[in-house]
Amino acid sequence: MTNAEAAEMLFVWTPFLAQGFAWNIVISLAAMAIGTPIGIFLAQLRLSGSRAASWLTAMARLPPTFVLLFYFAYLLPGEFAFGNLKVEVPAWLKASLALSVAVVGFVSDNAQPCIRHLRRGERLEALYFIPAWTTYFLIIVMASSTASVIGVPELVNRANTVIAAAGEHAATLWVYSYAMLWFLGFCLPLSWLMNWLRVGLAAQGNNVDPSGANVKVAVRADGRADQ
Amino acid sequence: MLKRNIIFGLILMIPLLASPSARADDLAPVLQTGELVVGVKADYRPFGYRDMEGELAGFEVDVAKRVAQLLGVNLRLIAVTSSDRLQKLASGEIDVLIATLGDTIDRRRLVRMIEPGYYGGGASVLLEEASPIRSWDDLKGRELCAVQGALWNRLAATRLLAEIKAFGSVRDAELALRDKSCAGWLYDEAAIMHLLGRAEWSGFRMLPPQFVAPWAIAVANDGPLATFLDETVAMLLREGWLTQLEKTWNLPPSSYLEQAEQRWTQRDANGNWLCRQDENGKWPVECRDLDLIEAQDLRGIGTAFVMLRDQFGLDLTPFYDPFSRAGFLKALATTILLAVAAVLGSLLFGIVGGKMLQSEKRLIRSPAQMLATLFRMTPPLLQLYLVFFGIGGLLAAHGVTLNALWVAVLILSLYAGASNAIAISEASAAISIRAEDRARKVARLAYPTVMGSCINIVKATAMASAIAVGELLHASTAIIADYGNVAVMMNILLGCYVALVLAVVYAFGQVEKRLLAR
């Protein structure tokens, strides 16, 4: 396969792969939408001294997302019936649920200082939660690629389809590298933006509060990849 | 007196309530909704595959169509794989399974197999022309690629003493064989025979079939649907419809179909079929395939495990069966090895990378920055695929094969190492060069982040299953594919991982106490 042939193949399949990446975003947003409110709720309970909430947060931090993905895929029924109402649980939603467990743990830990600042009326410091949350969202976007193993037609799953369709071994390296570019292209600018925001917030903090006491807020911007 | 009788009657009813209804009417709901849901293969030409329009087609799809037509209902097809087909049937996602499922004694304990089989076949091994393997006896100690959930995996491992590397999909097994990461590919005779007809597999050959078994349609439980299907397949054999279908799909004549057709078209002196159902809907013994393969060996105390399963639905038989137990224990050891190696690797990459990021020379700093970004901003699963299948394929052309386990260790180490490097370089920037006991201070500052990324990398070891590293998740899904005990295995798996993560947290706590704290 020459470079020109490879470029043509990638061009032809781009719309198909782009749809797959849209699935990654949908799965990740759903995971954040499920996990964030529960995490904030737990954080509030913990601030009022609830031990159950601390325990639940610890539980949310423990299981590997990749194992939970299989756990939900195998054990959750594909359909729930409430009387006459039937609710379907498609594979992508199972993936979102698996990812949302890690989100609960992250938000519960990081919303705590944020809520504390808000209660003290320190709006600016509370804003640190936004870049931390967004950085974690990026980690979830990357982790959403694991949904491919339970058959969700997201980017990595579709990359495998393209490789099978190309039927040529040389296509493998090209297609996977191209899929990586999609993730890089989405995550890198957002990550720069969040860094810029963080620096901006710190600078503002310095202006407002010359003592600089609260500049290093306990935001764990390092909410590292949880797979 | 009356009261006592009522109580007595209720007690008698308890077992009826407790035991799953053995002959639940599974046909009525199908007729009521007017839809039959059939699971077929999508990766098995010409039995079940996707055609040019992406529609499911093939020999088995045609059988499914005929069955739905005879029932007078619509047909909905769902694609299944060898590793999830029995679980989809058990969960009720599909009503009927027609997916190259070999009829064995073990599987008869899990599902209701339809007799007679609609096709039959055995195992074969796809090999390179130049391979030194000439017969099944040569497989001893050889590494074979395989597909999870295939009956042959266990037989080849226990009876022929081959090393089985089972992949989650046919595609991955194919790629692995092409990358020469195994001596051959153990799979169904029919599928391999079909592959050999295609140009891309010229230069390969196959072993003669072994372990021949009938392929059967399966349903979840015994019931009217099963009885109907028994009668239907018998009819299709008598009509010669199945041999006709075999010709339509250009399949070589199978000896199973020939013999079955002969058997099922025999008549007695009165001109009735020799093989006909008795009043209980059972076939006479001489018409049944009873010399089926038994892959598991459950005797002695094993019967207690069988009782536990049949009475309480708690299937721990894999842990009694030496083959599955050894597989699971080996997987546990592999997971621990992966975890320890990845943690050490990520610390090494973290320290070296941290130094490079702090370097004053741009030539050293920039590449380190780029690599750290690349490894943090792309999914590790994709990194695994890229290195194992992509780069592995290139290297295979030069006669070098990659070891899946060490590829996984490398990728996991780099992924967590990138985070560690950034944390260490930030910490070292924050501590003055002239500080006393500097290394310890840097370590203490970087410690929370490094611990976090190391814990995450231990969790991420499960991902190595995607390139067929035989770790815990891989072993568990393989056992599920054989036994169908989903809930038991998934809970054991989750429990193992939680224990592993807790152990790592504890170990880090000890390190902090001994080395970092004053």
Residue that finishes a domain, picked among B184, B212, B240: B212
Q: Which helix (H) or strand (E) holds B188?
A: strand B184-188
Which positions ≥6 away from A63 have C-beta within 8 Å? Answer: A71, A101, B459, B494, B497, B498, B501
Measured CA to CA in angstroms, residue B106 lies from A109, B109, B112, B175 at distances of 48, 5, 11, 30
A175-220 pLDDT, tens digit per residue, is 999 999 999 999 999 999 998 998 888 888 765 544 444 433 333 3
Q: For the packed helices A65-75 and B472-483, what is the interaxial angle rounded to 10 degrees? A: 10
* Distance of alpha carbon B160 from alpha carbon A190, whole angstroms: 55
Q: For the packed helices A129-143 and A91-119, what is the interaxial angle rounded to 10 degrees? A: 170
- Give domain status of residue B316, yes or no: no
| Chain length of chain B | 518
| Chain length of chain A | 227
A:B CB pairs within 8 Å: 138
Contact B327, B470 (CB under 8 A): yes
pLDDT in tens for each of the 518 residues of chain B?
A: 455 555 544 444 444 333 344 446 788 889 989 999 999 998 888 899 988 777 899 999 999 999 999 999 999 999 988 878 887 888 788 999 999 998 887 788 788 999 899 998 889 999 999 999 999 989 999 999 998 888 888 888 888 889 888 887 888 888 888 888 899 999 988 889 888 888 888 899 999 888 888 899 999 888 899 999 999 999 999 999 999 999 999 888 887 888 889 889 988 888 888 888 887 778 887 788 766 666 555 555 556 666 666 666 677 777 777 778 888 999 999 999 999 999 999 999 999 999 999 988 999 999 999 999 999 899 999 999 999 989 988 888 887 888 899 999 999 999 999 999 999 999 999 888 888 888 888 998 999 899 999 999 999 999 999 888 889 999 998 888 777 778 889 999 999 999 999 999 999 999 888 877 76
Q: Which amino acid is at A197?
A: L
| Nearest alpha-carbon partner for B331 in B468, B460, B470, B466 | B470
- Give domain status of residue B304, yes or no: no
* Euclidean distance between the first and the last CA atom of chain B, given in angstroms as a whole number: 80
- By three-state DSSP, how is residue B202 classified? coil
Contacts of B394 in chain A (CB under 8 A): 173
Contact A16, A181 (CB under 8 A): no
| Nearest alpha-carbon partner for A27 in A135, A154, A176 | A154
Q: For the packed helices B241-248 and B59-71, what is the interaxial angle rounded to 10 degrees? A: 140
Contacts of A170 in chain B (CB under 8 A): 393
* Distance of alpha carbon B473 from alpha carbon B490, whole angstroms: 9
DSSP 8-class letter at B162: P
- Give domain status of residue B62, yes or no: yes
pLDDT of the residue at B216: 93
Which positions ≥6 away from A167 have C-beta within 8 Å? Answer: B200
Task: Tell me whether B288 touches chain A (CB under 8 Å).
Answer: no
Mutate to test the interface with A, among B45, B51, B88, B381 (most CBs of A within 10 A): B381
Question: In this structure, what CATH number is given to the domain that contains residue B338?
Answer: 1.10.3720.10
Contacts of A225 in chain B (CB under 8 A): 376, 380, 415, 419, 453, 456, 460
Per-residue confidence band for A5, with pLDDT thresholds at 50, 70 and 90: confident
* Distance of alpha carbon B58 from alpha carbon B266, whole angstroms: 29
Task: Tell me whether B290 touches chain A (CB under 8 Å).
Answer: no
* Distance of alpha carbon B319 from alpha carbon B302, whole angstroms: 10
Same domain, B285 and B363: no
In the block, tokens 């190391």 appear at B454
Same domain, B341 and B479: yes
Q: Where are the beta strands (DSSP E) in B292-428?
A: none
Closest residue, chain B, to A156 (C-alpha)? B382
* Rounded (5°) CA angle B300-B304-B307: 130
Which tokens is B92 given?
């009720």
Contact A151, B168 (CB under 8 A): no
Interface touch A146/B498, C-beta < 8 Å:
no
Mutate to test the interface with A, among B377, B388, B488 (most CBs of A within 10 A): B377
Task: Tell me whether A44 touches chain B (CB under 8 Å).
Answer: no
Closest residue, chain A, to B80 (C-alpha)? A151
In the block, tokens 């009521």 appear at B32
Beta-bridge mates of residue A86: A81
Q: Which amino acid is at B303?
A: T
Same domain, B48 and B25: yes
Pick the CATH number of A3-208 from 2.130.10.30, 3.10.20.90, 3.10.129.10, 1.10.3720.10: 1.10.3720.10
Phi (first) and psi of residue A166, to 5 degrees: -65, -30
Residues 109-138 of A with CB under 8 A from B: 138
Interface touch A149/B168, C-beta < 8 Å:
yes
A48-105 pLDDT, tens digit per residue, is 999 999 999 999 999 999 999 999 988 887 777 777 788 888 889 999 999 999 999 9
Same domain, B146 and B34: no
Contact B78, B129 (CB under 8 A): no
Which positions ≥6 away from B301 have C-beta within 8 Å? Answer: B320
Kindly tell me if the per-residue pLDDT of A2 is higher than 90.
Answer: no
Q: Which amino acid is at B516?
A: L
Interface touch A176/B390, C-beta < 8 Å:
yes
Same domain, B270 and B413: no
Whether omega for the bond prior to residue B20 falls within 30 degrees of 0, making it cis, is: no
Interface touch A225/B415, C-beta < 8 Å:
yes
Phi (first) and psi of residue B169, to 5 degrees: -140, 160
By Cβ distance, the residue of B379, B394, B493 closest to A142 is B379
Which tokens is B193 given?
């025979």
Query: B365: buried, middle or exposed (CB in 10 Å: 19+, 13-18, 0-12)?
Result: middle
Same domain, B104 and B159: no
Whether omega for the bond prior to residue B116 falls within 30 degrees of 0, making it cis, is: yes
Task: Tell me whether B190 touches chain A (CB under 8 Å).
Answer: no
Contact A171, A10 (CB under 8 A): no
Mutate to test the interface with B, among A17, A70, A191 (most CBs of B within 10 A): A70
Range of the structural domain that residue B348 is part of: 322-516
* Distance of alpha carbon B94 from alpha carbon B87, whole angstroms: 10
Same domain, B239 and B342: no
* Distance of alpha carbon A200 from alpha carbon A213, whole angstroms: 16
* Distance of alpha carbon B458 from alpha carbon B336, whole angstroms: 9
Pairing of strands A79-82, A85-88: antiparallel
Interface touch B377/A184, C-beta < 8 Å:
yes
Same domain, B394 and B497: yes
pLDDT of the residue at B313: 65
pLDDT of the residue at A222: 41
In the block, tokens 């904030």 appear at A40
Contact B287, B116 (CB under 8 A): yes
- Give domain status of residue B314, yes or no: no
Same domain, B47 and B150: no
pLDDT of the residue at B305: 65
List, as one string, the DSSP characters of B310-376: HHH----HHHHSHHHHHHHHHHHHHHHHHHHHHHHHHHHHHHHHHHHHH-S-HHHHHHHHHHHHHHH
Which tokens is B391 given?
């780069």
In the block, tokens 């699935």 appear at A23
Interface touch B377/A138, C-beta < 8 Å:
yes
Beta-bridge mates of residue A81: A86
pLDDT of the residue at A30: 97
User: Within 10 Å of residue B265's Cβ, how many Cβ atoms?
Assistant: 15
Same domain, B335 and B403: yes
Same domain, B201 and B287: no
pLDDT of the residue at B348: 96
Contacts of A142 in chain B (CB under 8 A): 377-380
Residues 147-206 of A with CB under 8 A from B: 148-149, 156, 159-160, 163-164, 167, 169-170, 172-173, 176-177, 179-180, 183-184, 187-188, 191
* Distance of alpha carbon A44 from alpha carbon B414, whole angstroms: 37
| Nearest alpha-carbon partner for B126 in B208, B48, B45 | B208
Beta-bridge mates of residue B48: B44
Question: What's the total number of domains in chain B?
Answer: 3
* Distance of alpha carbon B96 from alpha carbon B234, whole angstroms: 17
List, as one string, the DSSP characters of B252-318: PPPHHHHHHHHHHT-B-TTSSBSS---TTS---GGGS--S--------TTHHHHHHHHHHH----HH
By Cβ distance, the residue of B171, B200, B487 closest to A160 is B171
- What does the pLDDT average to over A37-48? 95
Residue that finishes a domain, picked among B295, B310, B344: B295
Interface touch B386/A180, C-beta < 8 Å:
yes
Which tokens is B492 given?
């054991």
* Distance of alpha carbon B305 from alpha carbon A42, whole angstroms: 42
Which tokens is B427 given?
């910490």
pLDDT of the residue at B12: 44
Same domain, B167 and B237: no
Measured CA to CA in angstroms, residue B305 lies from B297, B315, B488, B495 at distances of 12, 7, 13, 21
Contacts of B393 in chain A (CB under 8 A): 169-170, 172-173
User: Within 10 Å of residue A130's Cβ, how many Cβ atoms?
Assistant: 15
Contacts of A156 in chain B (CB under 8 A): 379, 381-382, 385
Question: In this structure, what CATH number is given to the domain that contains residue B191?
Answer: 3.40.190.10
